[in-house]
Amino acid sequence: MPESLATAVVIADTNVLINFIHIGQLSLLSALPAVRIGLPLEVLDELTDADQRRLIEEEIIGKNIDLIHIVDVDALALFGDLRDVMGRGEAACLALATVKGYYLASDEKRRFRRKAIELIGEDRLLRTEDLMMNAIRHGCITVRQADEFKSILAQNRYVMSFDSFSEWYLDKTL
Protein backbone atom coordinates (compact mmCIF):
# COMPACT_ATOMS: atom_id res chain seq x y z
CA MET A 1 0.00 0.00 0.00
CA PRO A 2 1.50 3.35 -0.95
CA GLU A 3 2.55 5.37 2.07
CA SER A 4 1.52 8.65 0.45
CA LEU A 5 -2.21 8.02 0.68
CA ALA A 6 -4.35 10.52 2.54
CA THR A 7 -6.91 8.09 3.95
CA ALA A 8 -7.44 4.88 2.05
CA VAL A 9 -10.54 2.80 2.55
CA VAL A 10 -9.68 -0.89 2.78
CA ILE A 11 -12.59 -3.28 2.41
CA ALA A 12 -11.88 -6.32 4.59
CA ASP A 13 -12.95 -9.84 3.73
CA THR A 14 -13.84 -12.36 6.42
CA ASN A 15 -10.56 -14.27 6.25
CA VAL A 16 -8.41 -11.20 6.97
CA LEU A 17 -10.57 -10.21 9.95
CA ILE A 18 -10.40 -13.76 11.34
CA ASN A 19 -6.60 -13.75 10.96
CA PHE A 20 -6.36 -10.58 13.04
CA ILE A 21 -8.72 -12.12 15.61
CA HIS A 22 -6.49 -15.23 15.78
CA ILE A 23 -3.49 -13.09 16.69
CA GLY A 24 -5.46 -10.96 19.14
CA GLN A 25 -4.81 -7.83 17.08
CA LEU A 26 -8.14 -6.81 15.60
CA SER A 27 -7.58 -3.33 17.02
CA LEU A 28 -4.35 -3.08 15.00
CA LEU A 29 -6.44 -2.56 11.87
CA SER A 30 -7.87 0.68 13.22
CA ALA A 31 -4.41 1.78 14.41
CA LEU A 32 -2.97 1.82 10.90
CA PRO A 33 -2.31 5.43 9.88
CA ALA A 34 -4.17 6.74 6.85
CA VAL A 35 -6.32 3.60 6.61
CA ARG A 36 -10.01 3.20 7.28
CA ILE A 37 -11.35 -0.37 7.41
CA GLY A 38 -14.71 -0.98 5.78
CA LEU A 39 -16.80 -4.10 6.23
CA PRO A 40 -19.71 -4.98 3.96
CA LEU A 41 -22.78 -6.24 5.81
CA GLU A 42 -22.46 -9.46 3.78
CA VAL A 43 -19.08 -10.15 5.40
CA LEU A 44 -20.47 -9.58 8.89
CA ASP A 45 -23.25 -12.03 8.05
CA GLU A 46 -20.63 -14.68 7.16
CA LEU A 47 -19.27 -14.66 10.72
CA THR A 48 -20.98 -17.66 12.27
CA ASP A 49 -18.68 -17.94 15.30
CA ALA A 50 -20.42 -15.93 18.05
CA ASP A 51 -17.17 -14.76 19.68
CA GLN A 52 -15.67 -13.59 16.38
CA ARG A 53 -18.86 -11.78 15.46
CA ARG A 54 -19.01 -10.11 18.89
CA LEU A 55 -15.42 -8.84 18.50
CA ILE A 56 -16.17 -7.40 15.07
CA GLU A 57 -19.41 -5.82 16.28
CA GLU A 58 -17.50 -4.18 19.15
CA GLU A 59 -15.11 -2.63 16.61
CA ILE A 60 -18.09 -1.38 14.59
CA ILE A 61 -19.79 0.07 17.68
CA GLY A 62 -16.49 1.70 18.67
CA LYS A 63 -16.30 3.22 15.18
CA ASN A 64 -13.00 1.44 14.47
CA ILE A 65 -14.52 -0.44 11.52
CA ASP A 66 -17.16 1.02 9.20
CA LEU A 67 -20.11 -1.23 8.38
CA ILE A 68 -21.00 -0.64 4.73
CA HIS A 69 -24.32 -1.33 3.03
CA ILE A 70 -24.16 -1.65 -0.74
CA VAL A 71 -26.55 0.99 -2.08
CA ASP A 72 -24.78 2.20 -5.22
CA VAL A 73 -26.61 0.89 -8.30
CA ASP A 74 -23.38 -0.03 -10.12
CA ALA A 75 -22.03 -1.83 -7.05
CA LEU A 76 -25.31 -3.70 -6.61
CA ALA A 77 -25.27 -4.80 -10.26
CA LEU A 78 -21.67 -6.00 -10.04
CA PHE A 79 -22.43 -7.72 -6.72
CA GLY A 80 -25.24 -9.63 -8.43
CA ASP A 81 -22.96 -10.70 -11.28
CA LEU A 82 -20.16 -11.76 -8.94
CA ARG A 83 -22.55 -13.80 -6.77
CA ASP A 84 -22.73 -16.28 -9.65
CA VAL A 85 -19.03 -17.16 -9.23
CA MET A 86 -18.21 -16.53 -5.53
CA GLY A 87 -19.65 -16.18 -2.05
CA ARG A 88 -21.69 -13.20 -0.84
CA GLY A 89 -18.92 -11.70 1.29
CA GLU A 90 -16.28 -11.94 -1.41
CA ALA A 91 -18.69 -10.58 -4.02
CA ALA A 92 -19.63 -7.63 -1.80
CA CYS A 93 -15.99 -6.79 -1.08
CA LEU A 94 -14.96 -6.96 -4.72
CA ALA A 95 -17.99 -5.01 -5.95
CA LEU A 96 -17.32 -2.17 -3.48
CA ALA A 97 -13.58 -2.10 -4.20
CA THR A 98 -14.22 -2.03 -7.94
CA VAL A 99 -16.94 0.61 -8.08
CA LYS A 100 -15.69 2.87 -5.28
CA GLY A 101 -11.95 2.60 -5.98
CA TYR A 102 -11.23 1.11 -2.56
CA TYR A 103 -8.45 -1.27 -1.60
CA LEU A 104 -9.45 -4.85 -0.90
CA ALA A 105 -7.94 -6.97 1.90
CA SER A 106 -8.50 -10.65 1.20
CA ASP A 107 -6.49 -13.83 1.51
CA GLU A 108 -8.62 -15.73 -0.99
CA LYS A 109 -6.72 -17.48 -3.74
CA ARG A 110 -7.28 -18.93 -7.17
CA ARG A 111 -10.46 -17.80 -8.93
CA PHE A 112 -11.20 -14.93 -6.54
CA ARG A 113 -7.66 -13.56 -6.74
CA ARG A 114 -7.67 -13.73 -10.55
CA LYS A 115 -11.03 -11.92 -10.70
CA ALA A 116 -9.88 -9.29 -8.19
CA ILE A 117 -6.71 -8.58 -10.17
CA GLU A 118 -8.80 -8.34 -13.34
CA LEU A 119 -11.22 -5.82 -11.78
CA ILE A 120 -9.07 -3.72 -9.43
CA GLY A 121 -5.45 -4.59 -10.24
CA GLU A 122 -2.84 -6.18 -8.05
CA ASP A 123 -1.82 -2.87 -6.45
CA ARG A 124 -5.17 -2.52 -4.64
CA LEU A 125 -5.33 -6.13 -3.49
CA LEU A 126 -3.88 -6.60 -0.02
CA ARG A 127 -3.28 -9.69 2.09
CA THR A 128 -2.90 -10.10 5.85
CA GLU A 129 0.88 -9.79 5.52
CA ASP A 130 0.57 -6.50 3.60
CA LEU A 131 -1.43 -5.00 6.46
CA MET A 132 1.08 -6.32 8.99
CA MET A 133 3.95 -4.87 6.95
CA ASN A 134 2.14 -1.52 6.91
CA ALA A 135 1.89 -1.77 10.71
CA ILE A 136 5.65 -2.45 10.94
CA ARG A 137 6.50 0.47 8.67
CA HIS A 138 4.40 2.84 10.77
CA GLY A 139 5.79 1.64 14.11
CA CYS A 140 2.57 -0.01 15.28
CA ILE A 141 4.31 -3.38 15.72
CA THR A 142 7.87 -4.65 15.46
CA VAL A 143 9.25 -7.21 13.03
CA ARG A 144 9.64 -9.56 15.99
CA GLN A 145 5.97 -9.19 16.93
CA ALA A 146 4.94 -9.69 13.30
CA ASP A 147 6.99 -12.89 13.17
CA GLU A 148 5.26 -14.10 16.34
CA PHE A 149 1.88 -13.34 14.75
CA LYS A 150 3.02 -15.14 11.59
CA SER A 151 3.75 -18.22 13.68
CA ILE A 152 0.32 -18.11 15.35
CA LEU A 153 -1.35 -17.78 11.96
CA ALA A 154 0.60 -20.78 10.63
CA GLN A 155 -0.83 -22.82 13.53
CA ASN A 156 -4.26 -21.67 12.33
CA ARG A 157 -3.59 -22.78 8.73
CA TYR A 158 -2.59 -19.43 7.26
CA VAL A 159 0.97 -19.91 6.06
CA MET A 160 2.91 -17.02 4.57
CA SER A 161 5.42 -17.69 1.80
CA PHE A 162 8.45 -16.19 3.56
CA ASP A 163 10.41 -17.12 6.69
CA SER A 164 10.48 -13.76 8.45
CA PHE A 165 9.09 -10.29 8.01
CA SER A 166 12.69 -9.05 8.17
CA GLU A 167 13.39 -10.84 4.85
CA TRP A 168 10.08 -9.84 3.31
CA TYR A 169 10.59 -6.26 4.45
CA LEU A 170 13.78 -6.07 2.43
CA ASP A 171 12.28 -7.70 -0.65
CA LYS A 172 8.88 -6.04 -0.78
CA THR A 173 8.35 -2.41 -1.63
CA LEU A 174 4.84 -1.04 -1.61
pTM: 0.90
Domain-embedded: residue 138: no
pLDDT value at 149 more than 80: yes
Domain-embedded: residue 122: yes
Domain-embedded: residue 152: no
Q: Find the CATH number of the domain harbouring 100.
A: 3.40.50.1010
Domain-embedded: residue 91: yes
What pLDDT is recorded for position 7?
80
Domain-embedded: residue 96: yes
Query: pLDDT digit string (tens) for 57-82?
Result: 999 999 999 999 999 999 999 999 99
Domain-embedded: residue 62: yes
Domain-embedded: residue 40: yes
pLDDT value at 4 more than 70: no
Under 8 Å between Cβ of 121 and 110: no
User: By C-alpha distance, which of 48, 60, 54 is closest to 12?
Assistant: 60
Average pLDDT over residues 96-104: 96
Average pLDDT over residues 135-162: 94
Domain-embedded: residue 98: yes
Average pLDDT over residues 8-20: 95
- Inter-CA distances, 94 with 27, 102, 141, 142, 171, Å: 23, 9, 28, 31, 28
d(C-alpha 45, C-alpha 37), whole Å: 17
What pLDDT is recorded for position 6?
62
How many structural domains are present in the chain? Answer: 1
What pLDDT is recorded for position 1?
47
What pLDDT is recorded for position 169?
56
Q: Which domain holds residue 85?
A: 8-107+115-128
